[in-house]
Amino acid sequence: MVAPDDNLEKGAHEIMKGNMKEIIVRGKKVKVPFEDADYRLDGKQDVTIQNPFSGEKATVPGYAAAVYDVIKGAEVTHHYDMVQKGCDWFSRNFPKQYMVLLD
């Protein structure tokens, strides 16, 4: 196990494993799809996100909001492989929120 990074909040240690990254959220390992996303909010703080098209809102843990941010940025920069990877992760881990925010 890697020691906590000074840039991350306590409890969000990083463990690198292939193309997936694991963070520790409330004492549990959570696999997240992007190595470079800012997961510092981890699971301690929920974030409410509004769909820019429908106006509907969904609440997700901070680490899921970081994945959402990467997806939206990848859409703008036309990195559709990243969009797909993030959407696949989001739909498996947060299906209801995925339907509101990304479907």
| Residue pLDDT, tens place only, 57-96 | 999 999 999 999 999 999 999 999 999 999 999 999 999 9
Task: Classify residue 47 by burial, with Cβ atoms within 10 Å: 0-12, 13-18, 19+.
Answer: middle
Residue of 29, 42, 33, 40 whose CA lies nearest to 7: 40
Phi, psi of 29 (to 5 degrees): -80, 135
Task: Round to whole Å and give the CA distance between 68 and 5.
Answer: 22
Write the single-letter amino acid at 47. V
What is the DSSP code (8-state) at residue 86?
A: H
pLDDT digits (tens, 9 = 90+) for 2-39: 334 443 344 333 433 446 889 888 888 999 999 888 88
Q: How confident is the model at residue 38, as a pLDDT? A: 86
